Chains A and B, each alone.
Chain A
Amino acid sequence: MNNPITRWFKETARVWSRELRLIFSDAGMLLFFFALPLVYPLVYTLIYNPEVVTDIPVTVVDNSRTSASRELTRSIDATSAIKIVGYATSLSEARRWQAEKRCYGILVIPEDYARDIGRSEQTHVDFYSDMSLLLRFRTFLSALTDVQLATGAKIRAQKMEAAGLPASEAPISSEAFFLGDAEQGFASFIIPGIVVLIIQQSMILGIAMLIGTSRERRRRNGGIDPMAIQASPSATMAGKLLAYMVPYLPMSVYALHYVPLMFSLPHSGSMTQYLPFFLPMLIASAGFGLVISEIFVKEREMSLMVVVFTSVGFLFLSGLTWPRYAMHPVWQWIGNCIPAVWGVEGFIRINSNSATLAQNSHPYLMLWLLSAIYWTIYWMMLRHHRAKKLF
């Protein structure tokens, strides 16, 4: 015991095994550290797994009633996005159907639709879209644009043939490629980010509960936590971090590798790139969790009151819904302090865009920086407690 290095390792080992005992003997901890990261990714993926919106009900008000207007309706019905559910005699009747949620869009074909086409005049068709969900609107818009282009090309070919003009092929054709989410699916887009958030948040919840429970013990026992191990701040830190890694290393492999695999989500990154990337993410999250728990969590169950709502804020700070480049600098800076913000950014690029760790050196280094900052703050907190003889 005289050798300080051996002593340090022994202290670390004792803190590590005590922390593991506290985790494995507590149903609440098992829920946060195991059940939550195991089950949440599955539940979220199941919610979004149908991926795309299809056959959205649409009502047609056909004031033209010609074979041309019927053909337009047919080609719109033929898209995977739209399903024509009925014909209304007037716009107001269609509006009533929409109010009853029997349809989410109304197509109005004007009276002179066929006549305009016959006279070589431009014809305008109106489509009224419900805006409750932008996803539906976007699906409508892209399907209708395709129909408009295809119908236009067909009419043009007929006209030119009739006028004896040589058929003109479009001189510039175009081809669109979607990177990262080739199917344009919703689960494929959101889940890779969500799993990173789940890892961070479940870890913080668990750490907050450990700290809250320890504080309750201390209050009950006249300021002393009987379960706490007497150790130097650095040994306490090392022991705790290593204990949290016991569940979170396998959980990370599960969430980052097996979840995308199970649901055939985008998963083109290499494990040799994203697992090393994720190491500082785990270390930073643990430090972050320890610091905010020491500040805010006075009681075991308060962990839930303090941590749960932050998931919504962190989701938005990560830029998954509103991109970070368009944020006010203040929000960018707050986001910079959250490990999962960098974790989401880097993991998505590696996982979905097959980027390398080297290409993501910025988020990677930021995660190490955050690790250093949060663990230093925690070290100072431990020293402070010691000075006040709280341990």
Chain B
Amino acid sequence: MSDNKNTGFRSLLHRSLRELGSRRMYLWAMILVPLGVAFFFLSLMHEGLPERVPTAVVDMDHTSLSTKVTRSLSSQQYVDITQVLADYHEAMDKVQRGEIFGFFYIPRDFERDALGETGATITYYTNLTYFVPGSLAYKAFKTMAVTSSGAIVQSELTGMGLTPSAAGTLLQPIVIDTHSIGNPWLNYNIYLSNSFLPCLLELMIFLVTAWSICHEIKTGESVEWLRAADGSMLKALAGKLLPQTVIFTIVGLAIQALCFRYNHFPMNGSWGALTLATILLVLASQSFGVIVSSAMPNLRLALSLCSLTGILAFSVAGFSYPVEDMYGAIGIFSYILPIRYYFLIYIDQALNGVPVYYSRLYFVGLLCFPIVAALLSRNLRRFCLRPTYVP
């Protein structure tokens, strides 16, 4: 009897493999798109930080002090003073044309006022419509404003008779050293690729799972599919999805290898835990596809709902903006997405390297998806037996 069951499952597997081979779309959606986008991300941001932000200086003073400030601004790591402009209006025009992301404004009589009684005011403008270059320019400008002010105070203090080192301490009596744990280079590639690439994999798994199930119903072949599985919905699903699980897992682990092995992203914790998380992400995402297909066994609606959740996942899973700071009614949706749990495991394991114990609940979260899917698949069986296609 077990022999008979075996051949049944084998023919089911054979059926799914034939299906995967019959459409070029599967090759695209399962392998080429996830790996292609991985290549795109890793190549796009391989420098880690977009250095040399194009910026400008408006020097209304033209004295030795203002020239000194301009020169030391040019030596800052993150900015590139591409132009020295005549006035504020010209600089603003360049910002509006997108040629520069900010400018540093040295007013008229800057040297006289700075060294005299009145004091001078430097202003700097950064364009935050592009967040990364804008904030890098801001950082460089602020550092410059503080250090040029400091240099003058220091020379004043030594003029009062203090030693240069005492003046230096007095200038900056307290230093807060900020240590960025796990990503000391503030590398954008590490930060974005590790979250966006698994999220894209999740999206493609959602779509392929929903497609391969609901397409059976669209063409009316679901009856034959169920018969090949001896009428068991779970067996039919297993036979259809297992080959996809294998392919997606290989693709997921390949992306993981690209990130951590080839690009040497920080990996401070357990390799085993992260590998397990990738496998569970694949299973949970497939289960999500099954859940959606069971709730809405219509190809177009299932794919629409999978797209909606899969695309919103990039925002609502909290890769860039923390879930804790979203409105509660919105943030809660992040926990219906497998990627949220994977992301939290990745942070614990790869970035922070904390004991696996602290990630235990996230693994449980991922395991909930297959259970819910198995429970809901009874609904799917009904529709597979009486397939109706609604465009």
Contact = CB atoms under 8 A, between A and B. Distances in A.
Contact of B95 (A132, A168, A179): A179
Contact of B157 (A117, A168, A173): A168
Interface stretch (A47-55, A222-230, A285-293, A376-384): A47-55
Contact of A120 (B166, B186, B316, B320): B166
Interface string B89-100: 000010111100
A133 interface: yes
B391 interface: yes
A174 B122 contact: yes
Given A173-B119, A322-B132, A144 B178 contact: yes
A368 interface: no
Interface in B301-320: 303-304, 306-307, 310-312, 314-316, 318-320
Interface in A329-382: 331, 345, 348-349, 352-356, 359-360
Choose among A47, A140, A141, A359 the residue with the greatest number of B CB atoms under 10 Å from its CB: A47
Chain B, interface size category, equals 35 or more
Contacts of B53: 323
B126 A174 contact: no
Interface residues of A, number: 105
A262 interface: no
Interface in A300-350: 300-302, 304-305, 308-309, 311-313, 316, 319-323, 325-328, 331, 345, 348-349
A148 B186 contact: no
Q: Is the interface of B mostly helix, strand, loop or mixed?
A: helix
B383 interface: no
A208 B299 CA distance: 15
A131 B188 CA distance: 11
Interface in B138-177: 138, 141-142, 145-146, 148-149, 152-153, 156-157, 160, 166, 168-177
A54 B321 CA distance: 12
A49 B129 contact: no
B170 A124 contact: no
A99 B352 CA distance: 8
B323 to A, nearest CB: 10
Given A134-B191, A304-B207, A171 B120 contact: yes
Nearest to A138: B135
A300 B125 contact: no
A156 B96 contact: no
B180 A46 contact: no
A135 B171 CA distance: 30
A331 B37 CA distance: 12
B114 interface: yes
Contacts of A189: 128-131
Interface stretch (B14-22, B43-51, B249-257): B43-51
B358 interface: yes
A327 B93 CA distance: 24
Contacts of A28: 300, 304, 391
A128 interface: yes
A174 B142 contact: yes
Given A31-B304, A53-B322, A171-B149, A181 B128 contact: yes
B115 interface: yes
Interface stretch (B4-12, B274-282, B285-293, B325-333): B325-333
Contacts of B391: 26, 28, 213, 300
A190 B134 CA distance: 13
A354 B96 contact: yes
A127 B322 contact: no
Interface string A5-16: 000000000000
A105 to B, nearest CB: 9
Given A120-B173, A130-B352, A349-B129, A305 B178 contact: no
Given A47-B315, A117-B174, A319 B130 contact: yes
A44 to B, nearest CB: 7
Nearest to A129: B180
A173 B121 contact: yes
Contacts of A323: 50, 53, 101, 130, 132-133
A355 to B, nearest CB: 3
B59 interface: no
Contacts of B321: 47-48, 53, 133, 135, 186
A1 interface: no
Contacts of B299: 301
Contact of B175 (A49, A53, A125, A171): A125
Contacts of A349: 96-98, 129
A308 B354 CA distance: 36
Interface of B: 25, 29, 33, 37, 40-41, 43-45, 47, 50-54, 93, 95-98, 101-102, 114-115, 119-135, 138, 141-142, 145-146, 148-149, 152-153, 156-157, 160, 166, 168-183, 186, 188, 191-192, 196, 200, 203-204, 207-208, 211, 215, 218, 299-300, 303-304, 306-307, 310-312, 314-316, 318-322, 325-327, 330, 347-348, 351-352, 354-355, 358, 391
- Which 4 A-B pairs rank lowest in CB-CB distance, beginning with the nearest? A355-B96, A326-B50, A174-B145, A180-B129
